[in-house]
Amino acid sequence: MYMVWMWLFVSLAGGVVQGSTISTATTTLVTAIDADDITVTVTSTNGFPDVGFITIIDERIGYSDKTANTFTGSLAQPIVRGAQDTDAVAHVAGESVRTIESSMLNQSMGYKLAVLSDPAGVTAFVTIPFALISLLVSFLVLPLGFLGTDLEILTYIWGVISIGIIASLAISLAGGRRV
């Protein structure tokens, strides 16, 4: 539970440090965009940092400028589609546009349905274990990019501590030391 609170605290604190914005902002895409479009028009950019990354489904887009309802780039720093090892794809109007932190929270709280079909009919099972594993993986990497490159080592320290806690929990559950 400690790790959950630390992750949430760091995610929200990152938004405050970046200029008093809430880092878990979400808005909606107003117009469809192709894979090569360089302007993303949304209902509102309130709560988003002036410069940063947005997520639409699985694509991350880097922007260097924003207006009241668009994310754009400049001549010196154009918008980057398919940033951070994602693919630039077309998106339809109405899709959610989120900050990275908001996207992580949304993905970690979502659950998936596995649909199995047999002669008796269709049965749907909630696959909670997969959602919990996805949530656990998202806690191993904190979104500490707002601290700058000099403090990036904190991400690695967090990962080592997380692995240590998981290992100690596994040892405890396995019976630990026998006397």
* Residue 82: other Cβ atoms inside 10 A: 14
Q: Residue 88, by phi and psi: left (phi above 0), alpha (psi -120 to 50) or beta?
A: beta
8 Å CB contact between 97 and 42? yes
Q: What was the pLDDT predicted at 105?
A: 64
Q: Is the pLDDT of residue 2 over 50?
A: yes
Q: What was the pLDDT predicted at 124?
A: 44
Distance of CA 146 to the CA centre of its chain: 14
Q: Mean pLDDT throughout 9-18?
A: 56
Q: pLDDT per residue over 19-71, tens digit each? A: 444 467 888 999 999 988 999 999 999 888 888 889 998 899 999 999 999 99
**What is the Cα–Cα distance from 38 to 40, expressed in whole angstroms?**
7
Q: Mean pLDDT throughout 6-26?
A: 59
Token pair recorded at residue 114 = 């596995």
**What is the Cα–Cα distance from 30 to 83, expressed in whole angstroms?**
21
4-8, 116-120, 154-158 — which one is most confidently predicted on average? Answer: 154-158
Banded pLDDT at 111 (limits 50, 70, 90) = very low
Least confident of 79-88, 118-127, 139-148, 155-164: 118-127
> Structural domain boundaries of the chain?
2-173
Q: Is the pLDDT of residue 114 over 50?
A: no
* Residue 3: other Cβ atoms inside 10 A: 16
Q: Is the pLDDT of residue 72 over 50?
A: yes
Question: 3-state DSSP: the chain helix, strand, coil percent, rounded to 5?
Answer: 35, 25, 40
Structure-token match 């914005």, residue found? 21
